[in-house]
Chain A
Amino acid sequence: MDASSDSQRHPSGEDAAVGVQLQQMSACLDGELSDAEFSDVLQCLDRQSGGSMRQSWTAYHLIGESLRGEIAGHRGLAPADFLAGVRGRLAEDAPVEVVPPSLPLPDVSQPLVRGRAANDAVFRWKMVAGLASVAAVMAVTWGVLGTGPSGVSGPVMAQRGGEVSPVVAVSATPAQESTTTVAVETPQGTIIRDARLQQLLADHRQNGMSALQMPAGFLRNATHDNARGR
């Protein structure tokens, strides 16, 4: 075969195109093909000339193996028959989900799909515990800020600034919705207190020094300025 007459072997346009793609396939074997050219090669494999292209691909590799002394004692099917066998077996399998490359060499006996994790139940219990904690906090908060014992409602009172002013005047507070709150006139202004708290404070003032006379962070005063106090 005269290699220099190679150009005469593909006289028609289609043959010329096949020749170009065979040259691209030759370059692909050497890793010297661009991505775009490789797409052309793959498309050509589906055409009528695809069989001869696959045969050329096999022959090109065989040439290299022969030159390197690698083909001693080959045993096996013809390439086309072998490929047909692989195609058939792949066609029998269910569609395969391709896994992105991320792992070391695979143990092909293991399934690709992740099974149930051992700590799945622990995670569920953690979720339940978290929700229970949130519910408990909400319940305590509601109990502190909302309805108290005996159905008494009203703002939580606290002492402001540590100053326990003597009660200047005690009067019912019409602005409050509960009859158990009192409005107390102090130098700081009108203070609305729970009646029980007011009684408690009064009792302790009578008894002398008391921790309640000291600043207590949990005691809060709610004040308002009414028209009389301004």
Chain B
Amino acid sequence: MRTNDTTAAPSSDSDALLVQRTLAGEMRAYELLVLKYQRRVERLIGRMVRDVDLVQDIAQETFIRAYRALGQFRGDAQFYTWLYRIAVNTAKKQLMELKRDPLVFQSALKSAEEDETSSSERELTHGATDGETPEAILASKEIAEAVNAAMEALPEELRMAITLREIEGMSYEEIAQALDCPIGTVRSRIFRAREAISARIKPMLDRQGGKRW
């Protein structure tokens, strides 16, 4: 299965809808945004801070600050681009305020400055990180293998639909034209593919409940 550095399929429309609903008072919409970007924000902060507890604290604080400032989010930029800046600022501010471990502080701050200028674009588009623990690497590897296995077990039409959507970033309309089927069929196939793959990885997520990867 392809696992190249293809840019993530744009989800700006769903983000815009979730932001709009949050501003209308729907807290559940904001929770969906939190769940969507939790991992990316944690990975980003993890490159700046070594303390795992502090990573979680800063990550949660990032979403708190984003919620407070959501009314000032302009839809002309992608939501994650905006969230990224908040995460970086929050991490820097926390590090400056705490200064718990001078060694950790200095190395983390230095790491943040270097990484931000040299690989910020890589982080924004691919979410790649470095410096992960062996446990984290193993966990992500297990999930990747489970996803690949599930994809191979899918019927051809479902595998094609989810590949065109997730990897090629095509819209439902474009996929319908490519596969010569109605848009409703595309929607159904993508959903069924996701459900089939989820059935394999959800037990892994349940096992990890409350634990750090």
Contact = CB atoms under 8 A, between A and B. Distances in A.
Contact of A66 (B40, B59, B144): B144
A4 B193 CA distance: 10
B11 A59 contact: no
Interface string A1-43: 1111010000000000000001100111111110100100010
A163 to B, nearest CB: 74
Given A67-B3, A69-B3, A90-B67, A1 B155 contact: no
Interface string B116-138: 00000000001111111100110
B145 to A, nearest CB: 9
Interface stretch (A97-105, A147-155, A212-220): A97-105
Contact of B165 (A30, A79, A80): A30
Given A74-B140, A75-B55, A101-B73, A83 B6 contact: no
Summarize B's interface: helix, strand, loop or mixed: helix
A125 B211 CA distance: 64
Nearest to A93: B64
Interface string A50-79: 000011111111111111111111111111
A22 B35 CA distance: 16
Q: Size class of A's contact patch?
A: 35 or more
Interface of A: 1-4, 6, 22-23, 26-33, 35, 38, 42, 45-46, 54-83, 85-87, 89-90, 93, 96, 98-109, 112
Interface of B: 1-6, 8-17, 21, 23, 26-29, 31-32, 34-36, 38-40, 42-43, 46, 52, 55-56, 59-61, 63-75, 77, 82, 85-86, 89-90, 93, 126-133, 136-137, 139-140, 143-144, 147, 150-151, 153-155, 158, 162-163, 165-167, 171-172, 187-188, 190-202, 205, 208-213
